[in-house]
Amino acid sequence: MRKLIADFGLARLHSRRDAFTTLARSIVGQQVSVKAAQTAWIKLLALLELPNDGVSVLLPASSLVSVPADKLRGVGLSARKVEYLSDLARHFVDGRVHVDQWVDMGDEAIIDELVAIRGISRWTAEMFLIFHLMRANVLPLDDLGLIKGISINYFSGEPVSRAEAREIADAWAPYRTVGTWYLWRSLDPLPTGA
């Protein structure tokens, strides 16, 4: 880890937009290329008559909750993603997520709240904790990049189990997010965020 910090020590994590927009973009981007996700996102913004810069605009949950499914499908979203986005919007509009309380909630409580939303997995919730809430001690053991980074940097490229990864990362606590981030950088020096 000392070498990675020396190599990438000047780079920093920065929080992403608002909670709903961050999660909506995560859903739009699932299992498609970055380019396809960006195209669908820009079309979605146009459908909702929001600025089309695709980066800084905030997507209000209330503007999405009443859009008919066929219109959302028309921007290039699969039927499943339309269901996921609609469920996400309903959770926010109905107050089933407690955004204002997250600062005082533990990571697992937030993960539990988020995975109750269709289309949000534990991995997505952990990425949200890292990139939006900037939580310092998240260890996303389902992340292939983390496992590969541990394999390369600690096990000379040999396969590594989740238990071995957890054991290595115990030394990084209470800053396991930081350790994870440096291992990601070791694989891809240019941060892309989530």
**Could you give the 3-state DSSP secondary structure of residue 150?**
helix
The end-to-end CA distance of the chain, in Å, is: 23
Contacts of 80 (CB under 8 A, 6+ apart): 119
User: What sign does the dihedral 22-28-34-40 (CA atoms) show?
Assistant: negative
Q: Phi/psi of residue 56, each to 5°?
A: -90, -10
The token duo for 18 is 């608002």
How does pLDDT run along the chain (194 residues), one tens digit per residue? 666 666 666 666 666 678 999 999 999 988 888 889 889 999 999 999 988 764 578 889 999 998 999 999 999 999 999 999 999 999 999 999 999 999 999 999 999 999 999 999 999 999 999 989 999 999 999 999 999 999 999 999 999 999 999 999 999 999 999 899 889 888 876 554 44
pTM score: 0.83
